[in-house]
């Protein structure tokens, strides 16, 4: 492939020339407004070497080097006063997102952004990638900015809507006006404009003005303890219109997220709201291995596919049953991608817990998946290192990988299974669902496979997404809905 180099172009004539040459493993450049090259990043996948160079003194100088089998987050932006780069080596040393200031002499110091803790979800920067502040993750976001006036304005909005998710989405160049998308506990989202000069707030638009508030299930952030005492932060969505004070023994849809290094937070989740609108209580557990709730919580998931990560989901169901909120005879598990794996693992390894299983674009047999990753990228590629580090070694842990693969435990299923997969999925091959279907059919189990023509991993097409939702509704209603009673 061509080297990633910098060109200097005259915008009036359209003519340009090469300004700085990269090499075949250059991955990014950071340039000041006057053309000074602040940083060049290289990552050599063959030698597992990551380097940062700077040209601030007029010549190329190496200021950082790291041996790593996976490309780190690296340079994420430029400090506003141009004194340093914002940098992360991707290590698990602390819960601040491990973001440092890397100066142009190569010295690292922790970024002085403070904040409420949790993991840094987003580095907020301008179009030239100069860093203005950070957004911290969690059930609802929080923020910290270098500019104290901007920090006070954003904090004021977060505090004013203390039970809502306040998402900063845009701002004017001078930060005099800020636009937020706010999700209350039972609203489908509203855009609010804040004028810092006048102190006024104005409702600009509703994100989904065709959905009335009374059709939306109330979202709340909840916590429960896993069997080993670990706190599991989760999102609970109540059935639309239900009286929360008196509700009991509700039909439950458990919806583990994909990733698994992702997380669920307060916001409009189209699939959770679809089920809530149909009368189901929806639990979205942020099991260990999830991001968004600190480094320790995330790394506890390493090697725990089908193990403690799955136990965390099970424990969430049992907690809601023990509290009298969920009907133990009417529980289904629904998930996509890793969530699809977790749904199948629930059906295979805790068969008495679920009355039905819906798996969208799931991983079902882990060894063939890792073989595909190796075949597509090569044995030395960081992607294979990442998945083996998080699931298990393809060569040395074959028995473990087979033991946690639902397709190899098809005989243990008692609940009917609905498989949904797009035939243009480039993330999880459709053959993973085909393997699962064959295994369940061979074991004499109840399985339905809905193949979505021309659909990708995320069900991005509106028409096929609606088809999939309707198929899920029919399936779940049949097994735990009112008609199943």
Query: Smallest Cα–Cα separation from 353: which of 225, 254, 470?
Result: 254
Q: Looking at the structure, do residues 109 and 242 belong to the same domain, yes or no?
A: no
Q: Looking at the structure, do residues 359 and 463 belong to the same domain, yes or no?
A: yes
Residue 261 domain-assigned? yes
- The total number of structural domains that make up the chain: 2
Q: What pLDDT shows up at residue 462?
A: 85
Residue 386 domain-assigned? no
Strand partners, 250: 326
In the structure encoding, which two tokens stand for residue 159, read together? Answer: 């505090």
Q: CA 314, CA 481: separation in Å to the nearest integer?
A: 21
Q: Looking at the structure, do residues 120 and 227 belong to the same domain, yes or no?
A: no
Q: CA 431, CA 364: separation in Å to the nearest integer?
A: 9
Q: What pLDDT shows up at residue 485?
A: 53
Return the CATH number at 313: 3.40.50.1820
Q: How many residues does the chain have?
A: 485
Q: What pLDDT shows up at residue 306?
A: 93
Q: Looking at the structure, do residues 237 and 108 belong to the same domain, yes or no?
A: no
Q: What pLDDT shows up at residue 72?
A: 82
pTM of the shown model? 0.81
Q: Looking at the structure, do residues 121 and 224 belong to the same domain, yes or no?
A: no
Strand partners, 74: 88
Q: What pLDDT shows up at residue 95?
A: 41
DSSP string, 152-219: HHHHHHHHHTTTSEEEEEEE-TTSSEEEEEEE-TT-S-EEEEEETTT--EEEEEETTTTS-GGGSPPE
Residue 12 domain-assigned? yes
Residue 168 domain-assigned? no
Q: Which residue range(s) make up the domain with 54?
A: 1-77+89-128
Q: What pLDDT shows up at residue 115?
A: 44
Q: CA 74, CA 169: separation in Å to the nearest integer?
A: 24
DSSP summary character for residue 97: -
Q: What pLDDT shows up at residue 163?
A: 84
pLDDT along the chain (485 residues), means of 10: 87 92 93 92 91 94 90 87 84 56 89 59 87 88 90 93 91 94 86 93 91 89 96 95 90 96 92 95 97 87 94 98 96 97 97 97 92 78 81 88 95 97 91 96 97 89 91 96 63
Q: CA 250, CA 332: separation in Å to the nearest integer?
A: 12
In the structure encoding, which two tokens stand for residue 374, read together? Answer: 């190796």
Q: What pLDDT shows up at residue 405?
A: 96
Give the count of alpha carbons within 13 A of 311, CB side only. 13
């Amino acid at each position: 492939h061509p080297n990633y180099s910098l060109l200097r172009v005259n915008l009036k004539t359209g003519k340009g020339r090469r300004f700085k040459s990269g090499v075949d493993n250059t991955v990014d450049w950071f340039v000041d407004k006057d053309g000074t090259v602040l940083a060049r990043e290289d990552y050599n996948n063959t030698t597992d070497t990551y380097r940062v160079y700077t040209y601030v003194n007029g010549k190329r100088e190496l200021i950082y080097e790291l041996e790593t089998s996976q490309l780190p987050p690296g340079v994420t932006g430029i400090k506003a006063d141009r004194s340093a780069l914002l940098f992360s080596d991707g290590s698990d040393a602390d819960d601040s997102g491990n973001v440092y200031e890397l100066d142009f002499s190569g010295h690292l110091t922790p970024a002085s952004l403070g904040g409420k803790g949790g993991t840094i979800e987003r580095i907020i920067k301008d179009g030239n990638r100069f860093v203005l502040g950070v957004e911290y993750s969690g059930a609802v976001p929080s923020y910290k900015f270098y500019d104290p006036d901007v920090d006070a304005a954003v904090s004021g909005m977060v505090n004013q809507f203390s039970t809502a998710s306040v998402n900063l989405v845009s701002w004017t160049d001078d930060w005099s006006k800020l636009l937020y998308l706010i999700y209350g506990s039972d609203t489908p989202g509203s855009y609010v404009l804040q004028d810092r000069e006048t102190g006024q707030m104005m409702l600009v638009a509703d994100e989904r003005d065709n959905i009335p508030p009374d059709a939306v299930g109330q979202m709340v952030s909840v916590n429960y303890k896993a069997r080993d005492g670990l706190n599991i932060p989760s999102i609970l969505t109540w059935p639309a219109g239900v009286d929360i004070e008196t509700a009991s023994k509700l039909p439950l849809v458990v919806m583990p997220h994909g990733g698994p290094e992702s997380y669920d937070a307060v916001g409009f989740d189209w699939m959770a709201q679809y089920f809530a609108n149909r009368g189901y209580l929806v639990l979205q557990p942020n099991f260990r291995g999830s991001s968004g709730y600190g480094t320790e919580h995330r790394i506890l998931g390493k090697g725990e596919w089908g193990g403690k990560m799955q136990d965390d989901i099970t424990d969430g169901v049992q907690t809601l049953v023990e509290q009298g909120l969920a009907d133990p005879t009417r529980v289904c598990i629904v998930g996509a991608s890793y969530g699809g794996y977790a749904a199948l693992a629930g059906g295979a390894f805790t068969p008495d817990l679920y009355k039905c299983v819906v798996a969208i674009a799931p991983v079902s047999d882990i060894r063939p998946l890792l073989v595909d990753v190796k075949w597509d990228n090569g044995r030395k590629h960081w992607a294979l290192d990442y998945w083996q580090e998080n699931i298990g070694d393809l060569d040395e842990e074959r028995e473990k990988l087979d033991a946690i693969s639902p397709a190899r435990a098809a005989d243990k299923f008692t609940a009917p299974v609905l498989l949904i997969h797009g035939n243009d999925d480039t993330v999880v091959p459709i053959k993973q669902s085909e393997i699962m279907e064959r295994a369940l059919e061979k074991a004499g189990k109840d399985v339905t496979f809905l193949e979505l023509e021309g659909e990708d991993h995320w069900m991005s097409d509106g028409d096929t997404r609606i088809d999939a939702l309707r198929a899920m509704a029919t399936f779940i209603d049949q097994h735990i809905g009112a008609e199943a009673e």
